[in-house]
Amino acid sequence: MALRRRGYRVLESARPARALEIARGLDEPIRLVVTDVVMPEMSGFRFVEILARQQPTVRAL
């Protein structure tokens, strides 16, 4: 993946609920989330809304 080649740490999850679990377990903040709008379980908008409560400085694309 291009981001990894540039030295970024990339976290991946196929499901929003799992992504939120991963985010809760991190020691450092998430800087950017790249998400789809249509996903299983919840929309990308809802996912970012929930994630932003845990990670207030997160940006979304």
Q: What is the pLDDT of residues 1-48, one digit of tens each?
A: 799 999 999 999 999 999 999 999 999 999 999 999 998 899 999 999
**Contact present, 24 and 58 (Cβ < 8 Å):** no
Number of domains in the chain: 1
- Residue 47, both tokens: 């996912």
Taking residue 58's Cβ as centre, other Cβ atoms within 10 Å add up to: 16
Give tens-digit pLDDT for 35-46.
999 988 999 999
Q: Which domain holds residue 56?
A: 2-60
What kind and span of H or E run contains 49? helix 44-54
Strand locations in 1-61, DSSP E? Answer: 32-33, 59-60
CA neighbor of 18 nearest in space, from 43, 47, 46: 47
**Contact present, 33 and 26 (Cβ < 8 Å):** no
